[in-house]
Amino acid sequence: MTQYKARTFLRPTVRLVSQLCLFAGFYYLLNYIVIYFHIPLPTNVFGFFILLFLLSFRLLPLTAVKAGANFLIAEILLFFIPLVIGIIPYKNVLMHNGIKLIGAVIIGTVFVMLITAITVEVSLKLENKLKKKVLIS
């Protein structure tokens, strides 16, 4: 690999790894804050609100988190594999309540997919409006 190719490969990789480390550090910091101040929200929900605040008021540039967020969204299926493997020891529960559980999982999955699709659609429209507004200004 030539030096130029190595450099062009490493820059996005270093950016991605650093952004994933930023997310992890952000999570652990906010987890400490949630526990210390007894905030009645899960750390990830509280973190989303803080991240939204930081991005909305441009205290954190979008470029500082975009590559990491895109990677996590693209690889989200990998995060669900351990859940499926974890069900295997509970064969008796699945035998008795399997249909109800599968129905609940399917309904929950469809609900999450719909809400995610709507959120992404609204976010993209808002992002396009903001881009147009910046280009016009």
Mean pLDDT of 81-87: 68
Q: What is the pLDDT of residue 105?
A: 83
Summarised one tens digit per residue, pLDDT across range 67-78 is 998 898 888 877
Query: Residue 60: which region, alpha, beta or left (left: phi > 0; alpha: psi -120 to 50)?
Result: beta
Q: At what angle do helices 43-56 and 3-36 cross, to 10 degrees?
A: 120
The Cα–Cα gap between 54 and 26 comes to 12
The Cα–Cα gap between 74 and 68 comes to 10
Amino acid, single-letter form, for residue 38: H
- Beta-carbon contacts of 12 under 8 Å, excluding residues fewer than 6 positions away, are 67
Summarised one tens digit per residue, pLDDT across range 46-68 is 999 999 999 989 899 988 899 99
Statement: the pTM of the whole predicted model exceeds 0.85: no
Q: What is the pLDDT of residue 78?
A: 73
